[in-house]
Amino acid sequence: MSNRKIENLLVKFLCNQANSEELDVLHDWIQDPKNESLLKSYVKVKLAVDYNLIDFNKENSKKQLLDLIQKEQRVRKLKIVRNWSYAAAASIILFISISYIVKNHFNSQLEVSPAVVEQENSIQSGTDKATLTLEDGSEVALEKGTQYQNQNVSSNGQEIVYNMASASKEIAYNYLTIPRGGQFYVTLSDGTQVWLNSDSKLKYPVSFVEGESRQVELLYGEAYFEVSHSTEHQGANFKVFHSGQEVEVLGTEFNVRAYKEESNVFTTLVTGKVAVSYNNTSENLSPGQQSELNLNTGSITIAQVDTKTITAWKRGVFMFKSESLQDIAKVLERWYDVDITVAENLKNIEFKGTLSKNQNLEEILTLFKNTNFIKEFTINNNTITIN
């Protein structure tokens, strides 16, 4: 391969624009010992960058760069899926920035665009936090680094676990409220596991009545349920309510999304079987199906969906499949606890791709900006404008 082509690959890599095939080529080229001096020359001379790489030929420095490339080879790309005239500019590598390469691996003084360098007042990603409302109405703040315990429940600040004691004869309710910029995990007294997304609230019994239907209510937001099977509870089924919708299960895994600003409730079945009911309408779901309840009309429609995409939030990533920028902005608002205004002409532009929930918000906005479809974004405290 010509020196010119390798130089172009290095530039594209440092600018987060190399595709997977190009990363493979660059990885192999760097591993070849005869190319080490050329690599140093390109980085310091051709790119006009002082990387302080006097000892670049040392194995440790070389390994750091190879590790970075291998990490990039494993990530996905973000693409515009409409307005194909911009498709060539739309592919961008995620989860890495020039500032990360420079500051963490090469101790460089490279000056780059402010849109790429991490800003001092960066808006950080959400974290584990919630407010527990006890049966007497008192509230307990739960967050990383805190501990809480009473006779019924304990929390390490990242999850809350209820005692699997003998079922009670009277029901007392607790509430778990997740703010914007938060998430939390709870194990109910019957062993059912619930993951709660940002801006969500769940009502549930401290302990269930033995032999009777186990019932909880998702007041708003999004939750993923892994339900303890009815055979472990004298055949008692499990029900999730929201605004008149009832999801009845025996033991299964499913996701319910019912945010306050949305008029539709989405129930997605991952494994098992559930029945979704509203007024006099009832539909059974099979794995891979999603029901969409229109709260205005009361109608329920069923569709086949990719459950991995819908439940990706539980695994610490955002996965978008032909999502509009306006809808993506709503997801980011909840996780980063910000308000985002999208220019009218950009709201319906659709993207697909995967983003880490651990990135700060500037990094994600920069990825969208690098598509050249978005001209700029501005940040004023917790208010973001995209133009």
Give me the mean pLDDT over the 308-332 stretch: 93
Residue 324, H or E segment? strand 317-324
* Greater model confidence, 38 or 132: 132
**CA–CA distance, 223 with 322 (Å, rounded to integer):** 22
* Greater model confidence, 373 or 139: 139
Radius of gyration of the chain (CA): 25
- Per-residue confidence at 78, pLDDT binned at 50, 70, 90? low
CA dihedral 46, 50, 51, 55 (to 10 degrees): 90
pLDDT for residue 183 = 97
pLDDT for residue 250 = 84
Which of the residue ranges 13-22, 42-51, 263-272, 321-330 would you say has the lowest mean pLDDT?
Answer: 42-51
- Per-residue confidence at 90, pLDDT binned at 50, 70, 90? very low
pLDDT for residue 306 = 94
The secondary structure of 107-141 as a DSSP string is -------TTTSPPTT-----EEEEEEEPTTS-EEE
* Greater model confidence, 337 or 373: 337
The structural domains of the chain, ordered by start, are 3-74 (no CATH), 78-123+316-387 (3.55.50.30), 127-305 (2.60.120.1440)
**CA–CA distance, 85 with 322 (Å, rounded to integer):** 16
Indicate if the pLDDT at residue 122 is higher than 60: yes
Give me the mean pLDDT over the 260-279 stretch: 96
| Mean of per-residue pLDDT scores for the chain | 80
